[in-house]
């Protein structure tokens, strides 16, 4: 020990002696033995040869170690053995009945000096000395002595304790006794310390008094150590290849971070655990594999674990530059290592490769910047992987393939160049509670008959879709949150399947769920919302059972179905979209059953361009642009739906579309019930159309639908109106209790009418004319009752003006007035827009607000789909 160390120790003692625990101080202060000293040293030695001798060693006795420590000291300063013996006869000075021994030398020596003397002793001597009396025992327990010895022997800055799981972990000392306890744990270790081993061989006498085995190599220590023995490897670089076939603990004793324990090998695996190694331990070392060109075929770089052994590899740094194989290679039935808190980085191969029925637990590791996958699992291997961080890989995070299994919980997988998890060819892992994010492609990629369960993960901010499912794969994606993707949420394509259930899918840049190319997943009970695109997009012959989902607040359509797709949507709530609810176009088909579709900015359902869905028993309400809109050749069968409280019309049929509507209830529309125009067709059978604010069924502009056996009643305007060269077949309809007439036909219109029952309509238009009231007083300017349409050229009116029969008589008497036709119009005279103050309507106001009437009449009277909607629809089709 150097003199500076001694000084430091002493100074530290003085400091401690003032603040040390009361317990220790009590011990140090006790100046009287409880029993008289026996001078029979032989019997004393025997007596103290017991386990409890530290507790019972209350008497002073002469120490056999004294000759040894006096070797190192100036003999004049230390009492010799005989003189010290006198001291041992000291007795209780307070007892007046006993004789005071005045020359008790050791009593006279202050604790501080004794402690300094002890600091020259080795562990064996301290233990022996501690057996002599309480005072010395207390001094010999002192933490600074054992810390000094500990750092001398084990060269570590922290204590090392063995947990109940057999793991050697570094810890901050809890108290003064921690150092001694840790010393005891490691005491019988074999030490790998090349310089000391060499010196000891050259000069063995220098090392007397300390029974420590020093070895030049780890291999040599491995040969020497017994089963369950401990090998302490001191700082340095060891070029060795270790094959461990008996249970041992190999502990790296790095002096500091800058002075690590490195075991490296160029030609093959650095450490192999083979049969017989049982529950070995390897910890606190750095393993490096830096192969030259020839050895690149090796399969494992740093650690290999084969059949029937379960080593613990703890707190190691692993790095392999081999361009093939894996940094950690675990294979074979019964291979079940525990890899914990390891750091695997910068490897040119796979991080951890587990295969051929191997198992094991892999937790709290960090795996980063690996050229191939962070983890490979194949061929019935089934690891448990918890709380690992797998990130910044140059390939996928986890690759589980060829019947690979395993349980993956709480891992953080991010910034990998390819997917976070790739599952392939019959692999079937369980992935729970992981964070999978910022992947430079997708989050989870299942292909080639992959299976797997993905439960309660957070999958977000990936460059491609959060989850990809393709080529017959059939995973379970359940209760995950999938969000902020730069593309879609879940993407099922190429005959993918899967159960997608209970997920919260939101704020993705493309569709929440996309189903393509003959894929057929089950999509159930998900919340799909706030997407920057559509909710669910089914195209290119996509299928799928989509039920019990809540689809809302998406930027484009809630559900799009196109290009030969035939999904079944059942019992979903599709609402509050910024465009359409469900959008069928370009041959979209499928079944839409028992859904609630409401509060969309455009229509609830749109059917377009050859689409032919079956739409049954849905409730469709709150569309700002109609309940159902069929156009551009849209088809479809609509049965038993309830369509109500929509703006514009309950159902629009236009531009060559030809749907069939049966047994629907179309009611309480904010405007008309059904509106057929611009060459619309369609068959309406057995529908109830009632309580709509405007016309029950309006047929306009060359449209020719078939209306059979419908009941049209309680409307706020006419029952049926036909205008603008339209026609159709009207058979056996019952039309009653509408505000205007039952069936109103404009000039030139010739529908086929047969067996319609028209009764009890209120005929308010006729009544107005009969009582010489202006028609405007009946209709206002929001409704277009059918009547004779006149124009007054005297008043300089243009084609846009229509005036009613009453105003011809009452306001334009003597003017040049001519009959134009019978059609749907409100009276511009009454509205105050004709330039003449209507004498029949008080308070009218010369406005120009209604001058567009003629154009509106020509287009069918009710407002067309907005230009914005047309543009948006075009955009949808392009995308």
Q: Which residues bind Zn ion (CB under 5 A)?
A: 774, 792, 794-795, 804, 807, 811-812, 815, 827, 829-830, 838, 840
Min separation Cβ 663 and Zn ion, Å: 41
Q: In terms of CB distance, is 231 or 803 closer to Zn ion?
A: 803
Q: In terms of CB distance, is 760 or 780 closer to Zn ion?
A: 780
Min separation Cβ 812 and Zn ion, Å: 3
CA distance 409 to 401: 18
Min separation Cβ 746 and Zn ion, Å: 18
Min separation Cβ 770 and Zn ion, Å: 14
Q: In terms of CB distance, is 477 or 774 closer to Zn ion?
A: 774
Cβ atoms of 604 and 598 closer than 8 Å: yes
What are the structure tokens assigned to 193, written together? 């310390």
How large is the C-alpha radius of gyration of the chain?
A: 47
Residues in contact with 372: Cβ distance below 8 Å, sequence separation at least 6, in sequence order: 349, 350, 394, 395, 399
What are the structure tokens assigned to 454, written together? 């993905």
Q: In terms of CB distance, is 772 or 875 closer to Zn ion?
A: 772
CA distance 628 to 650: 6
Q: In terms of CB distance, is 200 or 791 closer to Zn ion?
A: 791
CA distance 718 to 189: 103
CA distance 314 to 364: 10
Min separation Cβ 747 and Zn ion, Å: 19
Three-state SS at 339:
strand
Q: In terms of CB distance, is 482 or 792 closer to Zn ion?
A: 792
Q: In terms of CB distance, is 718 or 804 closer to Zn ion?
A: 804
Strand partners, 712: 689, 735
Min separation Cβ 811 and Zn ion, Å: 3
Length of the chain: 879
Min separation Cβ 777 and Zn ion, Å: 8
The gap from C-alpha 344 to its chain's centroid, in whole angstroms, comes to 24
Min separation Cβ 781 and Zn ion, Å: 12
Min separation Cβ 619 and Zn ion, Å: 41
Q: In terms of CB distance, is 458 or 787 closer to Zn ion?
A: 787
Q: In terms of CB distance, is 284 or 812 closer to Zn ion?
A: 812
Q: In 10 A of CB 185, how many CB atoms?
A: 15
Min separation Cβ 761 and Zn ion, Å: 22
Cβ atoms of 194 and 216 closer than 8 Å: yes
Q: In terms of CB distance, is 14 or 846 closer to Zn ion?
A: 846
CA angle, corner 561, sides to 656 and 542, nearest 5? 130
CA distance 800 to 162: 98
CA distance 33 to 25: 16
Min separation Cβ 542 and Zn ion, Å: 56
Cβ atoms of 121 and 152 closer than 8 Å: no
CA distance 529 to 483: 10
What are the structure tokens assigned to 272, written together? 């192999």
Give phi and psi for 381, each to the nearest 5. -65, 145
Cβ atoms of 544 and 515 closer than 8 Å: yes
Q: In terms of CB distance, is 765 or 804 closer to Zn ion?
A: 804
Cβ atoms of 536 and 560 closer than 8 Å: yes
- Dmax (CA) of the chain: 156
CB pairs under 8 A, 24+ apart, for 758-764?
A: 758/719, 758/734, 759/734, 759/735, 760/736, 761/718, 761/719, 761/735, 761/736, 761/737, 762/737, 762/738, 764/739, 764/740
CA distance 214 to 459: 53
Min separation Cβ 721 and Zn ion, Å: 19
Q: In terms of CB distance, is 447 or 812 closer to Zn ion?
A: 812
């Amino acid at each position: 020990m150097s003199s500076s160390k001694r000084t430091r120790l002493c100074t530290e003692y003085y400091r401690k002696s003032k603040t040390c625990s009361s317990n220790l101080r009590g011990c140090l202060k006790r100046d009287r033995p409880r029993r008289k000293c026996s001078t029979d040293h032989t019997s004393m030695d025997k007596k103290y040869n017991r386990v409890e001798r530290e507790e019972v060693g209350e008497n002073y006795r002469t120490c056999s170690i004294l000759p040894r420590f006096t070797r190192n000291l100036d003999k004049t300063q230390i009492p010799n053995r005989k003189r010290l013996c006198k001291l041992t006869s000291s007795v209780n000075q307070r007892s007046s009945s006993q004789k005071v021994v005045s020359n008790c030398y050791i009593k006279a020596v202050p604790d501080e000096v004794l402690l300094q003397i002890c600091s020259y002793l080795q562990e064996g001597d301290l233990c022996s000395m501690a057996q002599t009396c309480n005072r010395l025992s207390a001094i010999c327990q002192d933490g600074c002595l054992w810390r000094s010895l500990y750092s001398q022997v084990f060269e570590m800055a922290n204590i090392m304790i063995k947990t109940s799981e057999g793991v050697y972990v570094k810890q901050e000392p809890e108290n003064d006794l921690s150092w001694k306890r840790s010393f005891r744990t490691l005491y019988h270790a074999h030490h790998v310390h090349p310089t000391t081993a060499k010196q000891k061989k050259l000069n063995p006498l220098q090392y007397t008094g300390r029974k420590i085995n020093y070895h030049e190599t780890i291999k040599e220590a491995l040969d020497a150590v017994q089963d369950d023995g401990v090998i302490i490897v001191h700082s340095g670089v060891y070029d060795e290849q270790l094959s461990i076939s008996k249970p041992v603990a190999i502990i790296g004793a790095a002096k500091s971070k800058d002075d690590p324990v490195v075991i490296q090998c160029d030609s093959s695996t650095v450490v192999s655990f083979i049969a017989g190694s049982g529950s070995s331990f390897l910890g606190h070392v750095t393993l490096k594999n830096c192969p030259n060109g020839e050895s690149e075929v090796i399969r494992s770089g740093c650690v290999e674990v084969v059949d029937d052994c379960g080593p613990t590899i703890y707190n190691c740094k692993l790095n392999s530059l081999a361009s093939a194989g894996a940094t950690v290679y675990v294979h074979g039935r019964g291979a079940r290592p525990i890899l914990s808190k390891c750091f695997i980085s910068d490897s040119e191969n796979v991080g951890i490769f587990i295969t051929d029925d191997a198992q094991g637990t892999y937790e709290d590791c960090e795996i980063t910047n690996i050229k191939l996958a962070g983890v490979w699992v194949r061929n019935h291997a089934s690891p448990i992987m918890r709380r690992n961080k797998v990130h910044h890989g140059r390939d996928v995070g986890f690759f589980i393939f060829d019947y690979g299994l395993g349980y993956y919980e709480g891992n953080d997988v991010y910034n990998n160049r390819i997917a976070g998890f790739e599952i392939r060819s019959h692999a079937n892992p369980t992935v729970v509670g992981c964070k999978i994010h910022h992947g430079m492609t997708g989050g989870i990629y299942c292909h080639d008959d992959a299976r797997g369960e993905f439960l309660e993960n957070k999958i977000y901010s990936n460059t491609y879709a959060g989850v990809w499912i393709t080529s017959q794969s059939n995973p379970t994606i359940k209760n995950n949150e999938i969000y902020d993707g730069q593309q879609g949420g879940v993407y099922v394509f190429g005959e993918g399947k899967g159960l997608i259930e209970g997920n919260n899918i939101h704020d993705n840049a493309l569709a929440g769920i996309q189903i393509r190319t003959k894929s057929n997943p089950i999509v159930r009970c998900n919340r799909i919302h706030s997407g920057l695109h559509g909710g669910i997009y089914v195209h290119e012959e996509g299928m799928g059972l989509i039920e019990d989902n809540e689809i809302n607040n998406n930027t484009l359509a809630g559900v799009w179905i196109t290009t030969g797709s035939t999904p079944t949507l059942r019992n979903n709530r599709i609402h509050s979209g910024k465009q359409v609810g469900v959008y069928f176009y370009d041959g979209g088909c499928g079944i839409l059953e028992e859904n609630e579709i409401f509060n969309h900015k455009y229509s609830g359902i749109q059917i377009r361009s050859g689409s032919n869905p079956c739409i049954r028993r849905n409730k469709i309400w709150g569309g700002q642009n109609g309940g159902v809109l069929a156009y551009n050749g849209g088809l479809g069968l609509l049965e038993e739906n309830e369509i109500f409280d929509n703006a514009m019309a309950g159902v629009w049929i236009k531009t060559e579309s030809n749907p069939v509507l049966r047994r629907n209830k179309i009611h309480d529309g904010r405007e008309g019930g059904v509106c057929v125009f611009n060459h619309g067709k369609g068959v309406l059978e057995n529908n109830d159309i009632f309580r709509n604010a405007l016309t029950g069924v309006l047929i306009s502009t060359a449209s020719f639908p078939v209306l059979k056996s419908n009941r049209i009643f309680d409307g706020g305007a006419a029952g049926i109106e036909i205008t603008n060269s339209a026609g159709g077949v009207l058979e056996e309809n019952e039309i009653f209790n509408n505000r205007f007439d039952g069936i109103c036909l404009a000039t030139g219109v010739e529908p086929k009418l047969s067996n319609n029952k028209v009764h009890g309509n209120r005929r308010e238009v006729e009544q107005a004319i009969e009582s010489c009231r202006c028609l405007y007083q009946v209709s206002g300017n929001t409704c277009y009752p059918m009547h004779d349409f006149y124009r007054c050229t005297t008043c300089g009116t243009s084609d846009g003006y229509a005036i009613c029969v009453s105003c011809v008589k009452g306001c334009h008497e003597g003017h040049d007035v001519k009959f134009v036709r019978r059609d749907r119009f409100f009276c511009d005279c009454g509205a105050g827009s004709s330039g003449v103050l209507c004498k029949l309507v008080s308070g009218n106001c010369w406005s120009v607000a209604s001058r567009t009437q003629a154009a509106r009449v020509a287009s069918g009277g009710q407002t067309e789909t907005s230009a914005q909607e047309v543009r948006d629809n075009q955009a949808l089709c392009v995308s």
